[in-house]
A and B are shown apart, each in its own frame.
Chain A
Amino acid sequence: MMSVFPSTAAARKASRSKPAAGSAPKSRSQRAAYLFIAPLGIGFAVFYFWPLLQTFYYSFTEFGAFGGNTWVGTDNYVRVLKDVTVWQALGNTLIYCVIGLLALPLAIGVAALLNRRGLRGVSLYRALYFIPFVTLPVAVGLVWNWLYNGDYGLINEVLEWFGADRRYWVSDPSTAVYAIGTVMVWSTTGYYLIIFMAGIKGIPQDYYEAAELDGAGPLRRFFTITLPLLSPTIFFASIICMINSLQTFDLIYIMMAEKNPAIGDTQSVVSLFYKWAFVENAQGAAAALAFLLMLIIAALTLVQFRLQKRWVHYA
């Protein structure tokens, strides 16, 4: 109806915003728009929206050994909340999240150094720092496993040279989670570096010049100009960082061999999800676990948005 007899309000609105439809028949351009969206819409419906509903249904069922699922009510959620391994995985995941955030100050520091006026080789440095982020995480995990190796690893050699004891970094439950976290920081610093460099570029140069005339040194300029004006970017980066590290999987999967005694001390929520869903055939509980993860991500994001008023300055 609307498209044939546009109401006066709609017509007024349309003439105000000078629609792209212009003089062409409206129904024709509308049909074209739906055709443009249809391929993506169908893909989303099949591979995103429907699966989301399906997972929600799965979380209330149990998979039979011969296919088919039976309704079990909230049993899966109860199992998830009562399971000690879930809480351990949750703790590990939060540790990854906190360690992962260390990439931010590192990246800000490097970005500030690269912002030095007249510095040569900026794009070379940026290119080198970004390499770990581009590299296949599985390959990264293997290389670091070798560096961490307890018997012949280079890290132990270097530490021994400084007089420290050698350690089995990735199979010692007291160090494994930090060893993996370190690799996370190493491989993501370059990514945040580029985000922060773009953010710093947006800060007007006049501010620095004015501060310099007032006699502010580089450190003071960093803390009174760069950091506050960068805070919206830092806020955005910390949200990305948190969401990503809450879903850590690849590095843990490759760095922790099946028989590694530290598996329980390193496995993330997604690692546990993968194990339940595709190794132990506990799809129902896995689905419930996935919803728990989503709740945690949503809650932490909300907290971040709440806290932003205290430290983010929008110019």
Chain B
Amino acid sequence: MRESSPRRRINAGSVATHAALSLGALVMVFPFLWQLLTAAKSLAETAKVPPTFLPDTWNWSSFEEVFTALPFREMLFNSVFNTVGRTVGQLVFCSLAAYAFARMQFRGRNVLFALFLSVLMVPSSLLVLPQYDIIQRLGLLNSAPALFLPGMFSAFGTFMLRQFFLTLPKELEEAARIDGAGPFRIFWSIMLPLVRPALAALAVITAMWSWNDLLWPLIVNTDPQKMPISAGLTSLEGQFETNYPVMMAGSLIASLPMLIVYVFLQRHFVQSVALSGSKS
């Protein structure tokens, strides 16, 4: 009796914890379930009062309608292009600069690093007007490079990778240098593989931001054929005002690729956020 009562209290506590956490999880996930259920209903059924929970008949025509109403296929492709372009660009440019800032000695290093970091503080609204002008002058409006060009350069990525490069032991480089390896060889075949977890974390968070970005694509690529899916969805809204099955189908298709990436690379997502949180 004396032993069972605290245990029972612990069990009751853990049941209450699970109940609270599950309720929260339901709030987080239910909108997506409702999105799927609505997408499978007919337009008439969504106007029923009270609403049905499950569709009377599972009807997938809204998914087809999305693709006939808008160049959704091209938009998805543009989003992929944008995401890959920005991610690859950041991995290359940020890792090179981060390595130099962390491991190499050169004049003006601290000043340059502070200058690069200052980019973090500038809100994007201070930049987009002239950025638009530059893209226009390059003749790149409504093109794939317009989407990813400015986003390939990131102060956040440089800072994050630099922190990682700083933790590596010096002996590795010195041994390689004695063997006659040049700076680029050392960077590419010795140091870069060692920061792979940081590269993965940067890649997933950049991919997410790129896929989800709205303001910039809205500005540079106004041609539906050249829009990414984020901007495309806004025009779907303009076309189908209250046709919720079609809008739910469209928004589901648009968010699914990133969700699939998330399911498979969850660990890296979590790590990238935790890393960005620990930098203070």
- Residues of chain A contacted by B32 (CB below 8 angstroms): 131, 135, 143
Q: Once bound together, how far apart are the Cα atoms of A32 and B106, in whole Å? A: 9
Which of B51, B131, B153 has the most chain A CB within a 10 Å cutoff? B153
| Contact yes or no, B269 A130, CB < 8 A | yes
* Interface of B, helix, strand, loop or mixed by DSSP: helix
| Contact yes or no, B25 A199, CB < 8 A | no
- CB within 8 Å of A: which of B52-110? 92-94, 96-97, 99-101, 103-107, 109
Q: From B219, which residue of chain A is reached at the shortest CB distance?
A: A278
B196 within 8 A of A: no
* A250 → chain B closest CB, angstroms: 5
Given A36-B96, A36-B99, A277-B128, A134:B269 Cβ within 8 A: yes
| Contact yes or no, B173 A235, CB < 8 A | no
B12 within 8 A of A: no
- Residues of chain A contacted by B47 (CB below 8 angstroms): 151-152
Q: From A194, which residue of chain B is reached at the shortest CB distance?
A: B273
Q: Which residues of A contact B (CB under 8 A)?
A: 2-3, 14, 18-24, 26, 29-30, 32-34, 36-37, 39-41, 43-44, 46-48, 50-52, 54-55, 58, 110, 113-114, 116, 118-119, 121, 125-132, 134-140, 142-144, 146-147, 149, 151-152, 154, 157, 186, 189-191, 194-195, 197-199, 218, 232-233, 235-237, 243, 246-247, 249-250, 253-254, 257-258, 269-270, 273-274, 277-278, 283, 286-287, 289-291, 293-294, 297-298
Sampled A-B contacts (11; CB under 8 Å)? A40-B158, A44-B116, A119-B17, A125-B21, A189-B28, A194-B273, A194-B274, A233-B277, A254-B237, A257-B238, A270-B215
Given A29-B104, A294-B122, A139:B251 Cβ within 8 A: yes
Return the 5 tightest CB-CB contacts between A and B, nearest first: A43-B153, A195-B277, A51-B130, A139-B251, A54-B130
Q: Once bound together, how far apart are the Cα atoms of A26 and B184, in whole Å? A: 15
Write out, one digit per residue, whether chain B residues 149-193 have a CB within 8 A of any chain A CB (1) or not (0).
Answer: 110110100100000000000100110010000111001000000
Q: From B241, which residue of chain A is reached at the shortest CB distance?
A: A257
| Contact yes or no, B277 A55, CB < 8 A | no
* B37 → chain A closest CB, angstroms: 10
B20 within 8 A of A: yes
* A141 → chain B closest CB, angstroms: 9
| Contact yes or no, A257 B237, CB < 8 A | yes
